[in-house]
Amino acid sequence: MRFFFTFAYQMQTTVLGFYIYQLTHSKVAIAFIGLSEAIPAVGIALYGGYVADKYEKRKMLLIIFTGVLLSSLVMFTVTLTGMHNYVHADWVIPILYAMIFCNGIARAFYGPATFTVYAQSIPKELYPNGSTWSSSSWQVASILGPFTGGLVYAFAGRVIPGLTGITATFGIIVIFMAVSLILVYLLRKYPPVFIPKENIWKSLKEGLNFVFKNKIMFYAMSLDLFSVFFGGVVALLPVFALDILKVGSEGLGIMRMASSLGAALTMIIMVRFSPMAKPWRNLLIAVAGFGLSIIGFGLSRVFYISLVCLFMQGAFDSVSVIIRGTLMQLLTPDTMRGRVSAVNSMFIGSSNEIGDFESGMAAKLIGTVPAVLFGGCMTLLIVTLTFFKTKSLLPLSLKDIQEPKAAH
């Protein structure tokens, strides 16, 4: 389910950014792609966690996936009916933004629901290894989705006369979304382990208090939030593909693939060599490497060097994802998984989209390359500040972190 959904979603994200920039040549338009999804995803994330704790998860996922599929069908119909012509850009853009907003609503519920399903499917002693395999599934889809989307967008019109690349791409997206919906239907039911008895506001406050009082969880979420907020370059890849590196939509797909390829290969290595021996130390090293990779990408004017930097960015990011995901699973009680996952979604799940908005606006104000360099430097500054704030966590092993005294 996760593979097919991620494959389709990554295809959609890749081609939408390129398509909207191709229509408008506006960096602000790219910025609003991320903002359109982040506003609902962040705004109702806590409520999504509350619902995930109270209700059966399979039914939730069926509703969520049906909504996302319908959104993709609307975007497919828009392109199929001929509104993809440049003269109709004024009509196309608002519709696309509206569908992205709907996807943001779905995401607010998707994260908490799948987080709980994962926790109920795998024994606790297998969480570290299971987290690696789960993230690897996501990363493989993240490799193939953007690569496929870029190629189909570039070559579909040349292979089939009369068919546009954007329409062909959305046709594939709809098919993969439908497959993921069928796979949700085949899941077993996941009834709530614990139903909050207090009112919704008190219940949500309890989830927030748990995260903010847990030093490791709070700093891990904060580190990811600010590093991705400043250091993300995904939103600006269409600008690099069209205007700086001049490699077109196929080059954009390859660049999106490079980051995910680095992440996937690193995760395969981590199945054998776990980063959890000294997780906090390794987390800081990984985020610092992420920042350096961003700076290298911003300075590069050679396509292949840019790919290497993106590959390394994905590799370092995957280490961060594995460590943070494992810590969250181990430190979260079963009775609070939905609400804690919702808080995580507010910190991390939408940091990419909010970071896309920041990147687009920064590129508009100071230029594309300076915006990327600024983001990389800010990431290194954040890691440095976190290092001095959390020195006591550096020598701790995973076993030490699970002890209540160390974890709080």
Would you call 367 helix, strand, or coil by DSSP? coil
Contact between 62 and 185 (Cβ < 8 Å): yes
**Rounded to an integer, what distance in angstroms lies between the CA atom of residue 196 and that of residue 208?**
14
In a domain, 72, yes or no: yes
Let me know the angle formed at the C-alpha of 26 by 22 and 28, rounded to the nearest 5 degrees.
135
- Retrieve residue 44's tokens: 């109702």
**Rounded to an integer, what distance in angstroms lies between the CA atom of residue 375 and that of residue 28?**
17
**Predicted pLDDT of residue 162:** 60
In a domain, 247, yes or no: yes
In tens digits, what is the pLDDT along the chain, a chain of 408 residues?
Answer: 889 999 998 888 888 888 888 888 888 888 788 788 878 877 777 777 777 777 888 888 999 999 999 999 998 888 776 544 544 556 778 888 899 999 888 888 887 788 777 777 777 777 667 777 777 787 788 778 887 887 888 777 666 666 677 888 888 999 999 999 999 898 888 777 666 565 666 666 776 777 777 778 788 877 877 777 777 777 788 888 888 888 887 788 788 778 878 887 887 788 777 777 788 888 899 999 999 999 999 999 999 999 999 999 988 988 887 888 777 777 777 667 666 766 666 666 566 667 777 787 888 888 889 989 998 899 899 899 989 888 888 877 767 665 544 433
**Predicted pLDDT of residue 297:** 93
- How large is the angle between the packed helices 27-43 and 351-366, nearest 10 degrees? 150
Identity of the residue numbered 375:
G
> pTM of the full predicted structure?
0.69
In a domain, 344, yes or no: yes
DSSP structure string for 297-363: HHH--SHHHHHHHHHHHHHHHHHHHHHHHHHHHHHS-GGGHHHHHHHHIIIIITHHHHHHHHHHHHH
Specify the DSSP element, H or E, that contains 123.
none
In a domain, 55, yes or no: yes
Q: What is the 3-state secondary structure (H, E, C) of 211-222?
A: HHHCHHHHHHHH
In a domain, 390, yes or no: yes
Looking at the 3D structure of the chain, how many domains does it have? 1
Would you call 163 helix, strand, or coil by DSSP? coil
Those residues whose C-beta lies under 8 Å from the C-beta of residue 270, and which sit 6 or more positions away, are 132, 318, 319, 322
**Which candidate, 25, 30, 8, places its Cα nearest to that of 234?**
30
- Retrieve residue 404's tokens: 């209540």
- How large is the angle between the packed helices 368-389 and 279-299, nearest 10 degrees? 160
Those residues whose C-beta lies under 8 Å from the C-beta of residue 319, and which sit 6 or more positions away, are 266, 270, 275, 282, 283, 285, 286
Q: Which domain holds residue 231?
A: 2-188+199-407
Neighbours of 93 (CB within 10 A): 18
- Report in angstroms the alpha-carbon separations of 188 from 56, 61, 117, 124, 202: 10, 12, 10, 19, 31
Q: How far is CA 288 from the centre of its chain?
A: 19
- Report in angstroms the alpha-carbon separations of 286 from 69, 279, 313: 35, 10, 9
- CATH number, position 46: 1.20.1250.20
DSSP structure string for 57-68: HHHHHHHHHHHH
In a domain, 194, yes or no: no
**Predicted pLDDT of residue 295:** 93
**Rounded to an integer, what distance in angstroms lies between the CA atom of residue 60 and that of residue 116?**
12
In a domain, 27, yes or no: yes
